[in-house]
Amino acid sequence: MSQSHTDVSDEARAGSGGQDVADVIATEACPLTEVLEHVAGKWSIGVLVAAAHGPVRFTELERSINGISRRMLTLTLRKLERDGLLHRTVHPTVPPKVEYALTDMARELHSTLTSLIDWAERHRGAIATARARYDRVN
Amino acid sequence: MSQSHTDVSDEARAGSGGQDVADVIATEACPLTEVLEHVAGKWSIGVLVAAAHGPVRFTELERSINGISRRMLTLTLRKLERDGLLHRTVHPTVPPKVEYALTDMARELHSTLTSLIDWAERHRGAIATARARYDRVN
DNA sequence: CTGCATCCAACGGGATACTG
DNA sequence: CAGTATCCCGTTGGATGCAG
């Protein structure tokens, strides 16, 4: 099952484990995919980044994340909270006030997310072009 | 962070300056989400990483990515190719031989993907724990 | 203000079978 | 070897309304 270590020329290795990334994918695809899917929701990254600079209230998130519905915000928030990425604080006041903050675990992810977004920003023009060309041919 | 914005057909959104990431999310959620979703498929990251060390054949990918179906491999491959992340080379031989390789754009993404996977590896235990606890309470 | 409930459409994705 | 073609169902996610 494990594919031989064909020359892995440039690439960075999985830092902590010392294993080859391809092997990790190959032998642990399920758990990895499983975890990755929690960050993979349509709005998860947006929420994670929007909450990165400190405790944020529900309505703030709703306003800052363009296009999200109340329902999806709630679902995304619950999902992230369940996975231990967000901490939810309820202030028993009237009107109610709820604040969401990243956990340490989620904060560790921040730079990676930033890289991802940065990459997307830099290449979305090229991606759109590539797609247009592909569609024109096919 | 200023994008080249090589104005492509379907969009008329305005560009942004180099602001805070949260602002980018806030004001450009749509295009960003749009791009991010191409990498967000259940198998996309697996394919991208599995193809990182050089040209890979269809069957190699099928074997190395645990649990993927032929159909999903094809769909994922097409999607990534369409977005300009994969290059597909067909060798007109018998039997047919098709090789997939990352484009430069995709190669730039590699270290970020590695970070993501590494993070997932490091925290999946904690995530599982958090989830179990959450479910026990609710 | 912060949600939850319900309905419903669209899409993703698995299983299986067939083909150049 | 490298796909395509169907069928089919579970999930995602949008819209709207109600509630603590």
Q: How confident is the model at residue B72 (pLDDT cuts 50, 70, 90)?
A: very high
Q: Is residue A128 within 8 Å of B11, Cβ to Cβ?
A: yes
Residue A12 in domain: no
Q: What average pLDDT does range A3-9 have in this prediction?
A: 33
Note whether A122 and B15 are within 8 A (CB).
Answer: no
Residue type for position B15: G
Query: Cα-Cα-Cα-Cα dihedral of A42, A47, A50, A52, to 10°?
Result: -130
Q: Grade residue A32 by pLDDT with cuts at 50, 70 and 90.
A: low
In a domain, B12, yes or no: no
In 3-state terms, chain A is what percent helix, strand and coil (to 5)?
55, 10, 35
Q: Which domain holds residue A34?
A: 26-135
Q: By three-state DSSP, how is residue A88 classified?
A: strand
**Within a domain: A47:** yes
- Residue B16 clears pLDDT 50, i.e. is over it: no
Name the residue of chain B whose CA is nearest to A4's CA.
B64
Name every chain B residue with its beta carbon within 8 A of the beta carbon of A132: 8-9
Q: What integer is the mean pLDDT of A59-78?
A: 93
The residue with greater pLDDT, A101 or B22, is A101
pLDDT of res. B109: 93
Q: What is the DSSP letter of A3?
A: P
Residue B125 forms part of a structural domain: yes
Q: What is the rounded distance in angstroms from the CA atom of residue B12 to the CA atom of residue A120?
A: 17
Rounded Cα–Cα distance for residues B49 and A121 (Å): 21
For residue B4, being part of any structural domain is answered with no
Contact B48, B105 (CB under 8 A): no
The CATH number of the domain holding residue A51 is 1.10.10.10
Residue B87 lies in a domain: yes
Give the per-residue pLDDT at A24: 47
Residue A25: the pLDDT is 44
Structural domain tally of chain A?
1
Inside any domain, residue B20: no
Q: Say yes or no: A11 contacts chain B, CB-CB below 8 A.
A: yes
pLDDT at B95: 93
More confident: B54 or A100? A100
Q: Is residue A91 part of a domain?
A: yes
Write out which nucleotides of chain D lie closer than 7 A to a protein Cβ: 1-6, 12-17, 20
* Whether residue A30 has pLDDT greater than 70: no
